[in-house]
Structure 1
Amino acid sequence: MKIVKDNTALKTISVEELKSFDGFADVSIQEAEHIIATLKELSLLTHNIVTNYEQSESISKLRQAE
């Protein structure tokens, strides 16, 4: 599986946006930056997994079944 390392094109939320969600208002700036970086990594991994499986025959068969 090809891993995407270039995350400069990703849309990320700002610290202020993160803090606007319930439960995140009191996190420090450092914690917020860590959470944002973790979410970015998770989204890259998820994208790579979905992209990899979209190319497999099993997904094609599942789509045809719908």
Structure 2
Amino acid sequence: MSAANSTQEHPFENPLYRYAVGISGAAILVFIAVFYLEGLLRYLVLGLAVIDAVLVPKILEKTIEAAE
């Protein structure tokens, strides 16, 4: 099975997939913040959503570069 995986492209090599992972996590955080939280906690979670949307694709990109 490892031979089959070595010939396939890793999903994180595709930038669209990396950004989709980051944005989907951020979308979940935004949903929770808007519908279930209030006050300062809402803004903290929204800040985490922005950080998640920006940093996750970069971290996944660094991970692929380190694996090669």
Q: Same fold (TM over 0.5)?
A: no
Report which of the two has the higher share of helix.
2
Q: TM-score, normalised by structure 2?
A: 0.43
RCO (CA 8 Å, sep 6+): is it higher in 1 or 2? 2
Q: TM-score, normalised by structure 1?
A: 0.44
